[in-house]
Structure 1
C-alpha cells in the first residue's frame, strides 16, 4: 500500500478545514495592474442619504454574501451607542455601477445595523409607518445601559428631549466610492485589500459580492443539489464559498473550450468573466459581452452553452457520472485503501467536463472497463507530470492544456 500523502486544505469560516485542497497555483504571480486605472472618490454622506438609499435599494446589502457569522444584538447596539456618543466609526467602501447603485465592499454589518435600528426589518419589508423604528432593541450598552437598554429607535424618538435621536440622524459618514470605470481586475484587487473583516475574503466571496445575479443564484442552487452532495460525500464546507468556486470552475470550462483559456496565469479573471457571462444568459447581448472581453487579445469566444438550464443538466450529469466511476474518491488524488484526500479543484473541473461530454453508450462502455481505466489513471496521478497539471501549474495555460489532453487520451482508450 502506498504511504498516504499529506495535503494542505483551504479553511472554512470557522477556521476548520474546508474539504478542498489548497492550490500551489494560487501563489503564481499575476500581471500587475496599472495603478492609474484606480478611480475612487472619498465622500461625506449624511445619515438621511444613507437611509434614502437603503429604502430605494440603491445600496445593495447582498444578504446572500454574508457569512454565517453575523453581528449579534449586543454588537449592533454598541455601534448605535457610538453614534449616540458621536464617536466616529470606520469608513465605508462601496463599488458603484453605471446606474449609481452601490455594492458594499466594506461595512456591510454596520449598514445592516443602521437599517435594523433606524427603520426596522418589518418596516423595511412592509413600509408600514406604524412600525417604523420598532426593530432592534438596544442591549448591553457600555455607557448608557442603565438608561437606554431595551430602547428601540421609536422609543428614543418619543422622549421629550430629542438629543439622542438628533445625534443619530445628524451623523456624517465617511464613504469611499469605487467608480464604475474601474477595470474589473482592479476592482477585485481593491476589494481584497480594503475589506476589514476578521478572516480575509476568498476570491469566490469577492466574485460573489461583485457579480450578484443569475450566476450567484445558480451557484447557490447547485451547491445544494443532491448530485453534488453525493459526488463530494457532503465533505465540502461552503461557508467561505469553497464549494461554489469548485462549481464555477466546472461551469467556466463548460461554457468555453479549454483552448480559450488565456495564455497567462489568471484563473481569477477567467472565473470572474464566467459569472458575468452567466448573468447575461440567455439573451447574451453582444454589446454587453464586448464589455467583458474588450481588454482581451482575442475576440469574443464561441460559447458552447448559452442557457442556465443547459448548465444545470450538464452539471447534474457530470456529478452523477463522476460518482459512479470514482466512488468515494471522486475528484480526489487518493484511491483504493488510502485515506481520502480532500477534493482537488482541478480534478473536479476537468473530470466533470470530460465525463459530461460522453454519450450514454460511451459512459456505459467506460464503466464496463473501469478497473483497467482506474489503474492507468491512478498510475498517472502519482507522476511529477500530473502534479504540474493539477497542482503546481493548474492555473497556467500549459497545465490546463496538458490535463485536458492527457486525461482525454486515457479516457478514449476505454470508450
Structure 2
C-alpha cells in the first residue's frame, strides 16, 4: 500500500441513513471481485407463486399472525407522516400498489420481506384505532379528508381501502434459503433497499431474532459500542457474526467462503433448538457479554474502532474488528486483562499503523477468506500481548 492508500484505510468512512451517521464503518469489496449473488444455484430451485389479495384479507392475515410483519423492524417505521398519508391517498385514488414479496415457511406462515413499510403503514392507518392510527396529513388531491383517521372516513372510502387489490409474489418454502435470500436481494430496489441483516431478520424465525435482540440489549453491549436498537440492525448483525464464529469457527467460514452464506447458516442454526439448544445459547450470550465488558475495559471509547498510533479521534465501529476482537476477548478473565491492557492496546494500534496487510484485512475485501484468517490470527496474537 502507498502512503495515500494507508491514510485512506486508516480514516474510516461512515455509513449514513437518512442523512444521519450510523457510527458504523462502510464495508467495501474490491470492484474486480464477482458479486456474491452470482454464486451458482439451479434455476429449477426457484418456485414463486403469484397471488392476489384484498387489503382487508391481508390485514386480517396480519392480525391473526398468518402474515408476519417482522417484529422489532424499526426501519419500517421511519416514514414521515406526509409519506404515510400519501400512500393512503394513492390507495383511495385507486392507484395500483407495486407488487409485494412474501416468504412462506413449511408451516404456511407468510413473512413480508419486500413491501414491509407499505403494509405497516396501511395496517397502522386502518387497524390502529383512534389512539394509534394516524390522521391523514399533506394530501395532494383529496383535501376534503385531510386530518381524518380511518374511522372518520365516509363508508365508501373505507370500502375502497378494504377492497383494494394487491399482488404478492410468494416464494415457496421448498426454495432453498440461500436462493430465497438472493431473490430478495435482486428485487430489493424500491425506496431505500434493505441491507443484508434486515433481509435476514425478515426471513428468520422468532428464536434467532430473540437471541440477537437479547445479546444487543445489555448494558455491556451499549457501553462497548454505544448502540441500542440500531435503525439498520447493524447491532444484530455484529452479534450474529460473533455467534457464527463461536458456533462454526474459521473452518466454518472457509466452508462458505463468504460472509452472507456464513451468516445465513448461523441464523438457521440459532433458529433450530435441535442444532443449538438453550444451554448453548446461554453460553454464547455469556461469552458475548464477557467480550463486551472486556472490550470496554481494554479499549475504552475506541473499542472495535480503527485507532492507529497517530490518530486521536474516534472512528466508527469496524465490523471486522468487532468479530475478531470480540471472539478473542471472550477467552480472558478481567483480572488478566487489567494487568495487560496497555500492552494489548499498544500491539493493536501498532497493527493498525504498521502492518499494511492487517489494515487491508479490516478495510477492503473483508470477506476474502485469506483476509479473514489473517486478521483473526493477528488479533489473537495481539490479545496475548504482555503475557
Short-chain TM bin: 0.7 to 0.9
Tell me the TM-score normalised to structure 2 length: 0.84
Partner residue in 1 for 2:321 = 347
Q: How much does 1:203 deviate?
A: 1.0
In terms of Rg, which structure is larger?
A: 1
| Partner secondary structure for residue 363 of structure 2 | helix
Aligned pair count reads: 376
| Partner secondary structure for residue 175 of structure 1 | strand
Q: 1:272 aligns with which of 257, 260, 264?
A: 264
Partner residue in 1 for 2:115 = 107
What is the Cα-based RMSD across aligned positions, in Å?
3.1
Cα deviation, 1:203-240, whole Å, max 9, x if unaligned, reads: 111111111413222323333322122223x2799221
Q: 1:70 to 1:328 in 2, by over 3 A?
A: closer
| Partner secondary structure for residue 293 of structure 2 | helix
| Partner secondary structure for residue 262 of structure 1 | helix
Q: 1:364 aligns with which of 331, 335, 355?
A: 335
Partner residue in 2 for 1:44 = 52
Q: 1:15 to 1:37 in 2, by over 3 A?
A: farther
Distance 2:119 2:178 in 1: 26
Distance 2:149 2:301 in 1: 53
Q: 1:121 to 1:212 in 2, by over 3 A?
A: farther
Distance 2:343 2:126 in 1: 66
8 Å contact from structure 2 (residues 294, 337) kept in 1: no
8 Å contact from structure 2 (residues 70, 202) kept in 1: yes
Cα deviation, 1:345-375, whole Å, max 9, x if unaligned, reads: 11211111112123x3xx5345424444443
Q: Are 1:252 and 2:244 an aligned pair?
A: yes
Distance 1:313 1:176 in 2: 41
Which sections of structure 2, spanning at least 5 residues, go unmatched? 1-5
Partner residue in 2 for 1:317 = 290
Which deviates more from structure 2 when the two are superposed, residues 33-42 or residues 5-14?
A: 5-14
Cα deviation, 1:154-193, whole Å, max 9, x if unaligned, reads: 4445x5xxx4344333322211111112221222222222
Q: 1:54 to 1:400 in 2, by over 3 A?
A: same
Q: 1:351 to 1:120 in 2, by over 3 A?
A: closer
| Partner secondary structure for residue 261 of structure 1 | helix
Which deviates more from structure 2 when the two are superposed, residues 307-316 or residues 386-395?
A: 386-395
Partner residue in 1 for 2:22 = 18
8 Å contact from structure 1 (residues 228, 319) kept in 2: yes
| Partner secondary structure for residue 64 of structure 1 | coil
Cα deviation, 1:132-167, whole Å, max 9, x if unaligned, reads: xx9444444433322x3344444445x5xxx43443
8 Å contact from structure 1 (residues 103, 209) kept in 2: yes
Which sections of structure 1, spanning at least 5 residues, go unmatched? 124-133, 290-302
Q: Are 1:80 and 2:72 an aligned pair?
A: no
Partner residue in 1 for 2:370 = 398
